[in-house]
Amino acid sequence: MVPDSGIIAWDYNFENIQGHPGNTARAKKYKLNYLDTEVGDLTSDHLINIYDLVALVELIMDGQYHEKADQNSDGEVNNVDLDILTELIMNL
């Protein structure tokens, strides 16, 4: 069920199932954009911290590209992105 509030919620009612005492199972509620993360959140934990810096360094060393690592949107993941992410974390 997705109510107008934009929060995903579901529950399952066991009341009419034989052998169940009428409990209702409920899921934790999340906003619809819960899985979206911002640029810099390379670990997808909804935080920007040292773990994201470590992930960025690994991407740079492996020569890999990831859109969320490209801090300045220049199509490359390099030391400039590392500097920007470091500055962002230091100013949080």
Q: Mind listing the pLDDT tens digit for each residue in 56-81?
A: 999 999 999 999 999 999 999 999 99
Length of the chain: 92
- The 10s digit of each residue's pLDDT in 9-43 is 555 666 666 766 665 555 555 555 556 678 899 99
For residue 51, give the DSSP letter.
Answer: H
What are the φ and ψ backbone dihedral angles of 67, each rounded to 5 degrees?
-55, -40
CB 82 within 8 A of CB 53: yes
pTM: 0.62
